Structure 1
Amino acid sequence: MRATRGEHLFYAITYTILSVLALSCLLPLVHIFAVSLSDNDAVMSGKVSFWPVQFTLESYKLLVEGTPIVRSFNNSVIITVIGTILNMIFTVMAGYPLSRKYFYGRRFFSMAIVFTMLFSAGLIPNFLLVKSLGLLDSYWSLWLPGIVSAWNLLVLRSFFENIPEELVEAARIDGCSEWGLLGRIFLPLSLPVLAALSLFYGVGHWNSFFSVLMYINDSAKHNLSVLVQNMIQSQQLLNEINHQMNMGTADDSINKITPQSIRAAGIMTMVIPMVIVYPFLQKFFVKGMLIGSIKG
Structure 2
Amino acid sequence: MIQRSSNKESLGSRLFAIANNLILILIALACLLPFINIIASSFSSTQEMMERRFMLFPTTFSLDAYKYILSTSTIFKGLAVSIGTTAVGTVVSMILTSTMAYGLSRKYLPGRNVINFLVVFSLLFSGGMIPTFLVVKSMGIINSYWALILPVAINAFNMIIMRNFFQALPDDLEESAKIDGCNDLGIFFKIMLPLALPSIATISLFYAVAYWNTYMNAILYLTDSAKWPIQVLLRQIVIVSSGMQAEGASVDIVPPAQTIKMAVIVVATVPMLICYPFVQKHFNKGALMGAVKG
- Bin for the TM-score computed over the shorter chain: 0.7 to 0.9
1:93 aligned to 91, 99, 113, which one?
A: 99
Structure 1 stretch displaced more, 90-99 or 49-58: 49-58
**Residue matched to 1:170:** 176
1:159 aligned to 160, 165, 175, which one?
A: 165
CA distance in 1 between counterparts of 2:174 and 2:131 reads: 43
Residue identity matched to 1:221: K
Structure 2 unmatched ranges of 5 or more: 1-5
CA distance in 1 between counterparts of 2:12 and 2:221 reads: 56
Contact 1:87 1:201 in 2 (8 A): yes
1:293 aligned to 263, 266, 291, which one?
A: 291
Which SS does the other structure have where 2:140 is aligned? coil
| Paired residues for 1:17-56 under 5 Å | 17-46=23-52, 49-56=55-62
Structure 1 stretch displaced more, 189-198 or 216-225: 216-225
Question: 1:234/1:13 Cα in 2 relative to 1: closer, same or farther (>3 Å)?
Answer: farther
**Residue matched to 2:256:** 258
Contact 1:38 1:48 in 2 (8 A): no
Question: 1:229/1:6 Cα in 2 relative to 1: closer, same or farther (>3 Å)?
Answer: farther
Contact 2:65 2:255 in 1 (8 A): yes
Which SS does the other structure have where 2:61 is aligned? coil
Contact 2:244 2:254 in 1 (8 A): no
2:225 aligned to 219, 243, 248, which one?
A: 219
Which SS does the other structure have where 1:157 is aligned? helix
Contact 2:68 2:254 in 1 (8 A): no
Structure 1 unmatched ranges of 5 or more: 247-252
Contact 2:242 2:257 in 1 (8 A): no
Which SS does the other structure have where 2:71 is aligned? helix
1:104-129 deviation line (CA, Å, top 9, x unaligned): 11111111111111221112111122
Provide the TM-score with structure 1 as the length reference: 0.87
Offset of 1:262 from its aligned partner?
2.4
Offset of 1:77 from its aligned partner?
0.7
1:127 aligns with 2:125: no
* CA RMSD across the alignment: 2.6
Question: 1:137/1:238 Cα in 2 relative to 1: closer, same or farther (>3 Å)?
Answer: farther
Question: 1:48/1:113 Cα in 2 relative to 1: closer, same or farther (>3 Å)?
Answer: closer
Residue identity matched to 1:287: K
Identity %: 39
CA distance in 2 between counterparts of 1:203 and 1:281 reads: 13
Offset of 1:238 from its aligned partner?
5.2
| Paired residues for 1:1-296 under 5 Å | 3=9, 10-46=16-52, 49-66=55-72, 68-236=74-242, 255=253, 257-295=255-293
